[in-house]
Chains A and B, each alone.
Chain A
Amino acid sequence: GAGVSQSPSNKVTEKGKDVELRCDPISGHTALYWYRQSLGQGLEFLIYFQGNSAPDKSGLPSDRFSAERTGGSVSTLTIQRTQQEDSAVYLCASSSSGVSEAFFGQGTRLTVV
């Protein structure tokens, strides 16, 4: 596909379980972003990857959150020992030339029960 693809689109997990969220950016895009959107809220920055540079992890809310980007393409956001407050929509975006042209995926809706 031509757009940013995220999977799964919905995920329900039990409290304490680990989850992995996947993002396939647009081919050729060097920048990749993860945001979290809680109900009725704006987007909260989580992490940013740019090429081979060290990622900016300053937005990750706790050490239970981690993300990788393999081969400069696909990214995985991992949440360990999920808590109910982790319930949100997790959005991925990619860009080739700065944040102005960032394209968002449709997000993964995570529900922790």
Chain B
Amino acid sequence: GESVGLHLPTLSVQEGDNSIINCAYSNSASDYFIWYKQESGKGPQFIIDIRSNMDKRQGQRVTVLLNKTVKHLSLQIAATQPGDSAVYFCAENSDDYKLSFGAGTTVTVRA
């Protein structure tokens, strides 16, 4: 079965608000995590990654938080924009290269 899962399949957010997308994983040996964004008709696009020796990493308008104690990570998007509407996947890597993906959260931004 899958080792990575997302708490909610859908998220509706008002434009300008902050978004928080959650993900739980079950493999305590996982040491590397990635968030991908997938727009309709396109392949997944890398957003941000984090290694298990960190608990927070920031990018442009995005922050990833990792809580290894409860095996949980989240993606925060600041000042959500219409272009942020997409499906967001978390993925974990416990082998050298094989990523395991969750089912995804569909984010819809309301104007």
Contacts and interface: CB of A to CB of B under 8 A. Distances in A.
Interface residues of A, number: 26
Interface string B73-94: 0000000000000000101010
A56 B43 contact: no
Interface stretch (A12-20, A43-51, A74-82): A43-51
Interface in A14-70: 31, 33, 35, 40-45, 48, 50, 56, 59
Interface stretch (B13-21, B61-69, B95-103): B95-103
A59 B34 CA distance: 20
A91 B89 CA distance: 14
Interface residues of B, number: 23
Contacts of A91: 43-44
Contacts of A33: 97
A33 B36 CA distance: 16
Contacts of B49: 100
B59 interface: no
A104 B89 CA distance: 14
9 contacts: A43-B44, A45-B100, A91-B43, A100-B32, A100-B46, A104-B45, A105-B43, A106-B42, A107-B43
Interface of A: 4, 31, 33, 35, 40-45, 48, 50, 56, 59, 91, 93, 98-107
